[in-house]
Each structure stands twice: as C-alpha cells, then as structure tokens.
Amino acid sequence: MSAASHRLKCCPKPNNSTHALHVFNTSQLKQVLVGAPETRLTALDNGLRVASEETGHATCTVGLWISTGSRYESEKNNGAGFFLEHLAFKGTKKHPQTALEQQVESMGAHLSAYTSREHTAYYMKTLSKDLPKAVELLSEVVQNCSLSEAEIEQQRGVVLRELEEIGGNLQEVCLDLLHATAFQGTPLGHSVLGPSSNARTLTRQDLVDYINSHYKAPRMVLAAAGGVNHDELVDLAKTHFSGVSFEYEGDAVPVLSPCRFTGSEIRMRDDGLPLAHVAIAVEGASAASPDIVPLMVANSIIGSFDLTFGGGKNLSSRLARLAVEEKLCHSFQAFHSSYSDTGLFGIHFVADKHYIEDMMHWSQNAWSVMTGHAERAPKLYVVLSYENGHILHILNYGRRIPLAEWDARIDAVTPRLVRDICSKYIYDKCPAVVAVGPCEQLPDYNRVRSAMYWLSVVCLIHMYFYF
C-alpha cells in the first residue's frame, strides 16, 4: 500500500462520550487558560460559517464539519453517509484517485473523514503554507466526488467487509444495540454503518439524493486551527464554498423527528463467547443543556478501568477500586453521549459470566452514590471535554464556547449540584439495558428497574443526613 493510501483514510467514528480522565495540576490549568487562542467566526452570504484559532504553529488542521449523519437517514438509506465517507477519497471530477493521492502525498498531509449519528467531517492535517491547497482539495472532495458506478461497486465490497469486521467488535455491537433499544422507533436508533442489506442495495441516485438533501451551506462549518490566518481562511471559503447551495428543493428542509427514550432491554446470549459485554444507560442531557457539565463531572467521578491499567486500592474511582478488589470485571467505562436534543448517560462493562450480577449491582450503586453524596471531580477534566467538542460547539451552540467560560462552568459545579442533577436523570428512571455474550446471570429487567428505585431511596436517606 502506498504512503498516500495510508494518509487518505476513513477514520473510525469518534465517540462523543466522555469517559477518560487526565491528571493535571493547578499551574498547568492556568497555563492552558492563558494560552487559549481566540476563536474567530465569520458567516458567508450562503450561511456557511468559517471558524479559526490561530496559534502560530508551522502546521494546521482544517476541515469541513456538516450537520448530517445516520440520524438524518431513513430505514431505506441508512448507511448512506458512511458509504459516502468511503467514496470521498476515490477521486473527484477534477482529480482522479491517483492524482488526489499524489496531491496529498506531495504536501505530506493526512486527509481523513468520519461519520457519526449527527455529524460528518472531512479534514486535513498539513503544513500551514499549504492551507490554500488543502481547502481546495476539501472543496473538491465534498462538492465534486465522482461517484462513478464502478467505484461504488468496488466500495460496496469494502463496506460489507468492514461491517463484518465491526460485527466482531462486541463493544461496538453493544453500544449500537443500546441506541437501537433506547431510541427504538426513532432515527437516533439507526447505526452509523447501516445494515448490510442497505450496503448491498444503495444506488448512485440514493447517494446523490443524500448529498443534495443534506450538504447545505448553513449546516457547514469550515474550521481551522494552528498556523492559520482568519482573513485568509474566509477568502478561501468564499473562493471554494460560495457556490454551496443554501436552498432546498421545494423548501423540503430536513427536520429531525422528535426523539423518544424507551426503557427496555436487548439480550444476545452466546455462551460460546469468553466474556459478556453489558451496557446500562438512562436518558441523558442534550449537548446544549445546562445540565451537561454536572453530568460530565459525575461521569468523571465514576471514571473508567481496565485490567491493563494496573493499580488497585489507590485508584481514584470507587467503582474501579471495587473492580480490582472483588475482581468484578475486565474493564468498564462510564459514558455520556450527547445529541442535539437528548443523550445517553451510562456504563459499559466487560465481565466474566459469573460476575455479571455483582458488576451490575455495583454499577447501579455508583449511580446511587451520585444521587447521595457526590464528591468533586479532578479539575482539569474540563480540558478533555472541551477539546473533544471544540468544533461541535459551533454546530450545537452557534458559537465556540471560550475555554475560560467552560472552566467557570466546571467551577460552578458543587457536590450538591451533581447530586441534584443526577437525581433528576437517574432517580426512579427506566433504564435501557443491553447484554451480548454469556449473559445468563444478568438480572431480570424488572429487578434492574427496581434497583434504580430502591438504591436511590437509600441514598436519598443518606443525603438527608449528609447535607
């Protein structure tokens, strides 16, 4: 495989859950806050927004983020966005695949893409001096993808093989099933990849219709960070993206259908597998909700754990310490996946079949502690969550939230606030539960549901005396 084909790749979709912790000190935080570059934002006449953060570095990252993904797809075309992601680098009307690869290779750049449930992105990492060429190539990839029938048929096989490979990733399977049951009957329940039946039947016209319906200027943000000049970036956007339409045929503007969370479960029992993957979640906050920061803090307190991490009684997470001492699981991670109008707040764990019931009990207990006497999270957790969503701020909020403002939001989170917000989302709620593998020992759903009530009652009693 050529170096260019290594650099032109489709990245795994990012997980917009936040479940890792960084350990920083106060002086490091101050340095980050002082050194945070200003975000400049300009809107073109067609509604496309241009955002930049200038650091003066010799390199930069520039990309186009679009408000579209599997949530905007129907049962018939689910997987179209993911299919397009694979076709994006197979040549444009101006640059055949080989020429496109040579262009990227000559710049020493990396051209990548990802698709999620609500967003699609195409971006390049390159030298700052090559910013004009990078924007030109991104424009070609997004607006003039060749979509030849021959290439579509070739990529169909690639997509089917990838679907088969991901089907062997039980964590991906578990979390996709969690969305499918939690948001059943709504487009948010669609997987990003789509079913294999669609991958076999999607036509060129299906892909063209998808682009024409969703690749609209007001739903796009051209963003760059590094050694970039904002005025230059705006001029480049005007040159290459002014022609992107802001009108819809027949004024048929795609509108997200209302989302509905359903407490429910899916069990895929397979006793031939060595370990069980289990996920439990309640409905979380939307990306723009003021509750998002307290839930992120709660999420960081529960934390994550993997046997390969090492450690034991000195781990900061109470659930992680229990996992080590009682050998409850091989790994777990708390997550909060946020979307435009809803979210999933939960825990995923991998455990031996004999420890599923115990791990489920202590996972729910970790939630109940949040509704009782939550503690303060590590301070610089804010940096991780901020970095994970820097471009999506503009799509979700219409602006880039300054790091100092994000830091102030974290400072405003008290143990009492974490308790109140967690009570709001967890107390006496019907969860969504998914288990894949040897999951016979997973408690009956009614027992899981009952535990949500009684554990919260116990901790409310504790909270009464604690506060």
Rounded Cα–Cα distance for residues 292 and 345 (Å):
10
User: If you search the block for the tokens 């679907």, which residue do you land on?
Assistant: 163
Rounded Cα–Cα distance for residues 65 and 14 (Å):
13
Q: Dihedral sign, CA of 18, 24, 27, 31? A: negative
Active site residues: 85
Radius of gyration of the chain from Cα atoms? 23
Rounded Cα–Cα distance for residues 203 and 156 (Å):
10
What lies within 8 Å, CB to CB, of 193 at 6+ separation is 79, 82, 159, 162, 163, 166
Q: Do 131 and 236 contact (CB within 8 A), yes or no?
A: yes
**Distance in angstroms between the alpha carbons of the first and the last residue of the chain:** 63
Beta bridge partners of 343: 284, 338
Q: Give the sheet arrangement for strand 49-54, strand by strand.
A: 8-10, 110-115, 120-127, 59-66, 220-226, 49-54, 39-43
Coil, strand or helix at 254: coil
Q: What torsion do the CA atoms of 161, 14, 394, 182 make, to the nearest 10 degrees?
A: 90
Rounded Cα–Cα distance for residues 27 and 350 (Å):
37
Q: Do 430 and 378 contact (CB within 8 A), yes or no?
A: no
Q: Do 71 and 118 contact (CB within 8 A), yes or no?
A: yes
